C-alpha cells in the first residue's frame, strides 16, 4: 500500500499548532527572569510535571526513532522491551528526586562542578550541548516526516519549517511555555494512541493479517537482532534518562515535593502505555507499508485511518516531537548561558542579560542542529550517537555524586568522565568498533569502573596514615 499525502490531516495538526503557539505567547508574558525561563519559577504542579516529563522523554526518538523504528525494522518484542530502559530510569529518578531538589542547582554542569570543579563543569556543559543539539536535529526531521505525509512537501522542506516552529516555541517562554504545552501534548498523545491502535490493526487485517505480512524473525524474542545488538540499542536510552538535564530541571521545577513525586508516578504509568502502543502501531505499519523509511512507520499509518483518527494521532505525534525539540534546545542553551557565560565569562552578568542571551542561543543552536541533522542517514543512528555520548560522559559522574559522594574524588570523577566521552565519540567513528562492540557497551562501563577505581586509590592515598601506638 503506497503512502498518499492527505491535506485534510494538516488542518487538525494546524489546529494543535495554533494552540501551542498561543500557549507560547501567554508564557512569553509570564516569563520575567532567568529562573522563570529555565525552571518555570519552580511553580509546576503534579499534572504539569507528569505531562512535561512524559512529552519531553517521548519525542521524535519514540514516534520516529527508537521503539518505532525497531518495531518496523526488527520486530515487536524487542521494541516493547526497549521501554524497560525508560521504566528503570524513571524508578531511579523517583528515588533520587528528593536529593536532586535539595541540591539547589539549575543545571547538571552546576551539579557536577560542585564536586569536580571547573574542569568537570566545562566538560559536562560542552558534552551536553553537543548531545542535545544532536537530539534536537532529529526532532526537526520528525516534523519533516509529518509535513511530507500531510502536504506532500519533501522531507527537507518540512524539516526547514519544523526548525522554525521549534525554535520559535523554545525562544518565546522557555520552560514556562514548554512545560504547559508538554502537558497538553502528553494528554493528546495518550488519547491518540489508545484510539488509533484498534483502527490500525483493523486496517492491517488484524493480528493474523499483520503476522502473515512481516518477516518471520520479527516475531522472535529479539526479532532479527542478536542480544548484543539489542543491548546496544537498549542501553543508550537508560544512560541518558538517568542523568538527563531535562528530567532534572523538571524535577526541580516542581512546586512541592509531594506534587513532584505524584508527577513522577504518573510519568511511569504514561511511559508504560506509550512504550507499548507505539510499537504495536509501527509493527502493524510494516505489514501495511513494507517499503518505508523506518522513521515513517507510525506517521504513515495516519493516512490509512479515518481522517479524524489519523488527524488526532498525527497531531499527537507532532505534539511530542515539537515539545521534545523545544525542551532539549532550551536545555542546551541554558548550559551555555548559565554555566559557560555566567559561570566563567561574566559572573556578574545581570539576570536580564542571561535571560536574553539564552533566547539568542536558542536561535543559533537551533540552526546548527538543522545542519547537523543532514549528516546522519537515519533518525535512529543520530539518536543512538547522541544518547551514547551523553550517557558515557555525564551519567557515571553525576550518579556518583548522588550515590557515593563521600568516596568520590575529583581526579576519579574527571578520569572516568573524560575517558567515557573520548570512547563514546571515537570508538565507532575512529577505531571502527573493535571486536564488533558498539561504543555504548564499552564507553560507559569503562567510565564507571575508572571513577570507582581511581576515586578509591586517590582517596586512600590522601587519607592520613594511622598513628602508631
Q: Tell me the average pLDDT of the chain.
A: 84
DSSP-based three-state secondary structure for 34: helix
Going through 193-294 in order, the beta strands assigned E by DSSP cover none
Q: How far apart are the first and last CA of the chain?
A: 86
Give 185 or 369, the one with higher predicted confidence.
369
Mean pLDDT of 2-10: 68
Please report where in the chains the cell 508504560 appears, as a residue. Answer: 272
Spatial distance between the Cα atoms of 423 and 195, rounded to a whole number of angstroms: 44
Asked if 90 and 269 touch (Cβ cutoff 8 Å), the reply is no
247 alpha-carbon distance from chain centroid: 9
Q: What does the CA dihedral 294, 298, 299, 304 come to, rounded to 10 degrees?
A: 120
Please report where in the chains the cell 514556562 appears, as a residue. Answer: 176
When computed from its CA atoms, the radius of gyration of the chain, rounded to whole angstroms, is 22
Class of residue 374 by CB neighbours under 10 A (exposed 0-12, middle 13-18, buried 19+) = exposed
Q: What is the pLDDT of residue 173?
A: 52
Give 392 or 43, the one with higher predicted confidence.
392
Backbone angles phi and psi of 44, in degrees to 5: -80, 135
**pLDDT tens, 83-141?**
999 999 999 999 999 988 888 777 889 899 989 999 999 999 889 888 888 888 888 88
CA distances to 41, 148, 183, 304 from 5, rounded to whole Å, are 42, 7, 29, 10
Domains of the chain in start order, with CATH, are 7-380 (1.20.1730.10)
Mean pLDDT of 385-405: 90
Nearest residue to 319 (alpha-carbon basis) of 13, 7, 113: 13
Contacts of 171 (CB under 8 A, 6+ apart): 359, 362, 363
Spatial distance between the Cα atoms of 467 and 465, rounded to a whole number of angstroms: 6
Please report where in the chains the cell 494543535 appears, as a residue. Answer: 16
Residue count (the chain): 469
| Model confidence at 469: pLDDT above 90 | no
pTM, two decimals, is 0.83
Amino acid at each position: 500500500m503506497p503512502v498518499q499525502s492527505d491535506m485534510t490531516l494538516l488542518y487538525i495538526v494546524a489546529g494543535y499548532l495554533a494552540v501551542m503557539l498561543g500557549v507560547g505567547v501567554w508564557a512569553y508574558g509570564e516569563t520575567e527572569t532567568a529562573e522563570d525561563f529555565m525552571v518555570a519559577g519552580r511553580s509546576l504542579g503534579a499534572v504539569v510535571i507528569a505531562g512535561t516529563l512524559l512529552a519531553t522523554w517521548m519525542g521524535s526518538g519514540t514516534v520516529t526513532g527508537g521503539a518505532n523504528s525497531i518495531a518496523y525494522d526488527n520486530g515487536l518484542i524487542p521494541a516493547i522491551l526497549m521501554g524497560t530502559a525508560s521504566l528503570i530510569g524513571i524508578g531511579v529518578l523517583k528515588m533520587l528526586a528528593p536529593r536532586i531538589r535539595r541540591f539547589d542547582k539549575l543545571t547538571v554542569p552546576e551539579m557536577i562542578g560542585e564536586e569536580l570543579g571547573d574542569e568537570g563543569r566545562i566538560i559536562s556543559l560542552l558534552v551536553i550541548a553537543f548531545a542535545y543539539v544532536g537530539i534536537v536535529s532529529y526532532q526537526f526531521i520528525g516534523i519533516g516526516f509529518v509535513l511530507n505525509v500531510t502536504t506532500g512537501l519533501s522531507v527537507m522542506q518540512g524539516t526547514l519549517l519544523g526548525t522554525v516552529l521549534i525554535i520559535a516555541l523554545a525562544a518565546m517562554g522557555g520552560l514556562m511555555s514548554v512545560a504547559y504545552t508538554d502537558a497538553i501534548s502528553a494528554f493528546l498523545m495518550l488519547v491518540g494512541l489508545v484510539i488509533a491502535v484498534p483502527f490500525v490493526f483493523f486496517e492491517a487485517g488484524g493480528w493474523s493479517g499483520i503476522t502473515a505480512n512481516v518477516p518471520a524473525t520479527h516475531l522472535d524474542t529479539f526479532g532479527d537482532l542478536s542480544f548484543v545488538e539489542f543491548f546496544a540499542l537498549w542501553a543508550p536510552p537508560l544512560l541518558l534518562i538517568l542523568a538527563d538535564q531535562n528530567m532534572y530541571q523538571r524535577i526541580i521545577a516542581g512546586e512541592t515535593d509531594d506534587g513532584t513525586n505524584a508527577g513522577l508516578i504518573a510519568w511511569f504509568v504514561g511511559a508504560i502505555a506509550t512504550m507499548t502502543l507505539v510499537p504495536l502501531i509501527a509493527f502493524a505499519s510494516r505489514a501495511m507499508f513494507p517499503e518505508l523509511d523506518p522513521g515513517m512507520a507510525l506517521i504513515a499509518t495516519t493516512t490509512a485511518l479515518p481522517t479524524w483518527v489519523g488527524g488526532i494521532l498525527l497531531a499527537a505525534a507532532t505534539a511530542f516531537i515539537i515539545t521534545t525539540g523545544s525542551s532539549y534546545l532550551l536545555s542546551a542553551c541554558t548550559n551555555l548561558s548559565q554555566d559557560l557565560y555566567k559561570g566563567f565569562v561574566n559572573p556578574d552578568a545581570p539576570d536580564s542579560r542571561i535571560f536574553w542571551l539564552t533566547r539568542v542561543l536558542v536561535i543559533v543552536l537551533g540552526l546548527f542542529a538543522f545542519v547537523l541533522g543532514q549528516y546522519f542517514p537515519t533518525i535512529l543512528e543520530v539518536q543512538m550517537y547522541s544518547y551514547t555520548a551523553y550517557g558515557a560522559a555525564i551519567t557515571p559522574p553525576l550518579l556518583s555524586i548522588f550515590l557515593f559522594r563521600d568516596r568520590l574524588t575529583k581526579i576519579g570523577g574527571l578520569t572516568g568522565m573524560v575517558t567515557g566521552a573520548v570512547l563514546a565519540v571515537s570508538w565507532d567513528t575512529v577505531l571502527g568498533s573493535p571486536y564488533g562492540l558498539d561504543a555504548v557497551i564499552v564507553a560507559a562501563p569503562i567510565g564507571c569502573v575508572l571513577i570507582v577505581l581511581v576515586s578509591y586509590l586517590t582517596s586512600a592515598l590522601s587519607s592520613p596514615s594511622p598513628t602508631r601506638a
